[in-house]
Amino acid sequence: MRPKSILRGDISTRLLAIVMVLGACVPALSNEPDPKMYWDVKDLRPGMKGMGKTVMVGTKLEEFGAEVLGVMRDVSPGRDMVLCRLTGCKLENSGIIQGMSGSPIYIDGKLLGAVAFAWEFAKDPIAGVTPFQQMVQYVRANDRRIAAESRDLLPDKGIHAARMSILPEIDGLALDEPKSAGELAPLRVSGGAMAGMTPIVTPLAASGFSPRALSVLETQLRPLGMAPMVGGLAPEHVIREQAGSPLVAGAPLSIALVMGDFDLSGIGTVTHVEGNRVYGFGHPMFSLGSCDMPMMTGFIHTVYPRASVSMKMGSPLRVVGVIDTDVSTGVAGRIGLKPDMLPVSVRVKTGRYADSRLYKVQMIREPVLLPSLLMSVLTSAIDTEGNLPEELTARLSATFQLRGYAPITLSDTFSGPRYTGQTGAATLFSPLASIANVLVRNPMAPVRIEAIDCEVEIEPGQKVAVIESVRLLSATIEPGKELKAFVTLKPYKGDRETVEMLMAIPDDFPEGAYEVVFSDVAASLRRRFRNDPPLAEPRDLAGFMKTIRMQTEPKRTAIYVHVPTPERGLAVQGQELPNLPGSVRAAFASKKESPAQPIRSDLITVGQTSWVVEGSQTLRFTVAKDAGISLSLK
């Protein structure tokens, strides 16, 4: 394994480069726009007139008129907004357009700011303009934050520190009902609504995504000011002809979230370019602060007029740099840098005789967005293959390649009513989105996912069987002998089957009455969590990884047999103390310190079947040294 100093080297390379450019104590940065080229908000007056730039079709810049109506101070903390009436470019008919975010407005040759806000169903093209002065201020603050983080970067600290504590419980594996691991908690979009005014929604051009995946994205990204819509990549001849189109003020600015066989990109407008520094949008994209997203040139096909807010329909062209700042007054990026993307592949086969198809994408690594993007890509890969059977069985295998750690692998069979219908794909892939979520947002230490590789094979029919009954060969067992049981499975639309299960009882197993539990994987995992509470509260990354692997390694096609042992122990400050005498456990319980957690242990046997097993049964039996004599006397 490579030394940690090298492992984190390429994580911080871009940040250290920024430090060299910025410097820690320089109040006015050399690569910042000269304050003389943009307006101070306090100098603006109603009636001042100017012009703006944007692209309505292709990459050709067009000019529109702008008149200052007034300045609204402190519309949000530290934020002002300039009201402007726009004219020209048919804005009198279309109104303010989604995709115009960032369009620069100039008065007397000086930059006023970026078109950023609009009113739905407005009769006049009145826009809220973010002063460029404040765009520079907020971007500067984030640059200094990046510089400070890179200077203080420790061997076990990465770009994205943990933002919250997350229990290492994988949704859809240890729980009866999977939650939507891909659900994205709403992020605060600054500049809230005022009499219908909102930040201009950013169109998200989605290429290759299925209607079901778009519906998921719409639900999760619309509250963040995103408008996912069916889109497409630009034709080959457009890409060739526009290959040299530069990022200039007023030009389309595309920010990619997913690239490859599926493409998801936001479309806005460049506000200003200073050297290799690009400013745009005039409002946040996701309010991420520091980020790492591909910055691309774009092409506008047409403007789609609507009664509420019209929108530009555009496509991304080519990557020219990295968006590294996403703050309340806009986004900013640097030309020439290379984005750090996560490779994801998914191979899909639907039916025994169908050919498998491989889909490859690269997606941004932003932790708060990764689960949703992963879920949408995997869902689209399945939907691309056509209509799925009403009743299906899916064999899913996924590997998370990690830097510095052994891979996390999930290989299992999924079947049953929850995997059918409109929510079936989301339920199937929920564990993968959850694994990605807990890995990148774990509170212990940064974990870098190098790649995610997934294979899914779908066949018609449900391969589900319920544990209907269990019969023990004998209810009394001698220590050192085997407990034999016959488990009756009732398959869905099939004939009953009997599976023989054997569990070895140790030679030193104490005599007494015991319970034996025959269960599916979900009940088995819940029992392991309950018996060993520290599993749910690991104290270091090794413990965190252990808990994840404990949930991904068991199979749904197995029957799990649990017999509780008399062993009792405690977990004290994360340290397991097994098989403690009762007096010692009582002594720990009496201490006025961190409470000790009781831990228990089970004998566990696993039996494989050809079905996805559901349900559980519990029986009682007795361990007695004279069990054989008693049986012979009878």
The pLDDT confidence band at residue 540, using thresholds 50, 70 and 90, is confident
Supply the pTM of this predicted model.
0.83
Residue 247's closest CA among 205, 283, 286, 294?
Answer: 294
What integer is the mean pLDDT of 328-343? Answer: 95
Q: What is the CATH number of domain 342-460?
A: 3.10.20
Residue range(s) of every CATH 3.10.20 domain in the chain:
342-460
pLDDT tens-place string over residues 441-477: 988 889 999 999 999 999 999 999 999 999 999 999 9
The span from the CA of 306 to the CA of 227, in Å, is: 14
The pLDDT confidence band at residue 27, using thresholds 50, 70 and 90, is very low
DSSP element (H, E) containing 599? strand 597-608
Q: What is the pLDDT of residue 258?
A: 95
pLDDT at residue 598 is higher than 50: yes
Q: Please list, in sequence order, all residues whose beta carbon lies within 8 angstroms of the beta carbon of residue 183, skipping any fewer than 6 positions away.
A: 220, 371, 372
pLDDT tens-place string over residues 365-375: 999 889 989 99
Q: What is the pLDDT of residue 175?
A: 46
Q: Are strands 310-327 and 97-98 parallel, antiparallel or unpaired?
A: parallel
The span from the CA of 180 to the CA of 371, in Å, is: 9
Q: What is the pLDDT of residue 308?
A: 66
Task: Please provide the distance, in angstroms rounded to a whole number, between the alpha carbons at the two ends of the chain.
Answer: 64
The span from the CA of 560 to the CA of 517, in Å, is: 8
Residue 247's closest CA among 308, 187, 317?
Answer: 317
Assigned token pair, 214: 């778009």
What integer is the mean pLDDT of 384-401? Answer: 86
DSSP 200-244: PPEEEEEES--HHHHHHHHHHHGGGTEEEEE--PPPHHHHHHTTT
% of residues, the chain, pLDDT over 70: 80
pLDDT tens-place string over residues 235-244: 888 888 887 8
The pLDDT confidence band at residue 551, using thresholds 50, 70 and 90, is very high
What integer is the mean pLDDT of 258-278? Answer: 94
Q: What is the pLDDT of residue 5?
A: 38
What integer is the mean pLDDT of 252-262? Answer: 94
What integer is the mean pLDDT of 326-341? Answer: 94
pLDDT tens-place string over residues 486-538: 999 999 999 999 999 999 999 989 999 999 999 999 999 999 888 887 777 78
The pLDDT confidence band at residue 162, using thresholds 50, 70 and 90, is very low
